[in-house]
Amino acid sequence: MFTNGIVRPPGANFADALTSVDLGAPDYLRALHQHAQYCAALERCGLTLRHLEPDERYPDSTFVEDTAVLVQVHSPSQASISCAILMRPGAVTRAGEVASMAKVLSRFSPNMHAIEPPGTVDGGDICEAEDHFFIGISTRTNEAGARQLQKLLALYDRTSSFVDIRGINGILHLKSGVSYLGDGRLAVIDVLSELEDFQDYDLIRLDAGEEYAANCVRLNNHILIAAGYPRFEKSLRELGYETIAVEMTEFQKMDGGLSCLSLRL
Is residue 127 part of the annotated active site? The answer reads no
Our answer to whether residue 35 is catalytic in this structure is: no
Identified catalytic residue from 113, 173, 216, 222: 173
d(CA 188, CA 204): 6
Phi-psi region of 172 (alpha: psi -120 to 50; beta: other; left: phi over 0): alpha
Cβ count near 224 (within 10 Å)? 24
| Catalytic choice (39, 83, 216, 260) | 260
Q: Tell me, what DSSP letter sits at residue 108?
A: T
Q: What are phi and psi of 175, to 5 degrees?
A: -75, 0
**Cα–Cα dist 19/23, whole Å:** 9
Q: How far is CA 253 from CA 9, 19, 25, 56, in A?
A: 16, 7, 7, 18
The half-sphere exposure of 193 on its side-chain side, counting CA atoms within 13 A, is: 15
Ranges of H-type helices in 124-170:
143-154
Return phi, psi of residue 116, to 5°.
-110, 155
Active site (catalytic) residues: 173, 260
